[in-house]
Amino acid sequence: MFGFLKKEAFKILAPADGELIPLAEVPDEVFSQKVMGDGFAVIPANGRVVAPISGTAVSVFPTGHAVGIETKDGVECIVHIGLDTVELNGEGFQPLIGQGEKVKAGQPILTFDKDLFEGKGYNLTTMVVFPSGYEHAFEFGHKTVAAGEQVV
């Protein structure tokens, strides 16, 4: 009867088309050891990245390599594209949202030049980590996912 008062279940979506992998398999200890929080990663098939959760873009890094999103309930999520891609200083990244902007889960948030980055030898594994506000065990095997597909 009062269905409109129900709290919607928290959903987390894949940020990109590609192969979902456990964070422990990311070849960077900051992520594999969960220093920045627990989460998961996707080896991207292309250069399109979508928001894994709905909320506010609390940080859109000037280098374009990462975006922070916070839900209205205080759950923080960081989407980090590639390893050491901060070194590119924004080259090849095109943010599609600005800091302070509201985003919906599944909305495109940035694009990147996959061919350029691979040509320069960068690992493009894209991490989704939750530094605070979300306690959940992310236990995934390898699986092909589509951008915007629900993973949790």
Tokens 């493009």 belong to which residue?
A: 124
Strand partners, 129: 39, 78
What are the respective helix, strand and coil percentages of the chain, to the nearest 5? 15, 35, 50
Is 65 part of the annotated catalytic residue set? Answer: no
Integer-rounded Cα radius of gyration of the chain: 15
Q: 116 Cβ partners below 8 Å, 6+ apart?
A: 91, 92
Which among 36, 144, 152, 141 is positioned nearest to 105, based on CA atoms?
A: 152
Per the residue annotation, which of 65, 80, 136, 142 is the catalytic one?
Answer: 80
Q: What are phi and psi of 110, to 5 degrees?
A: -165, 160
Active site residues per annotation: 80
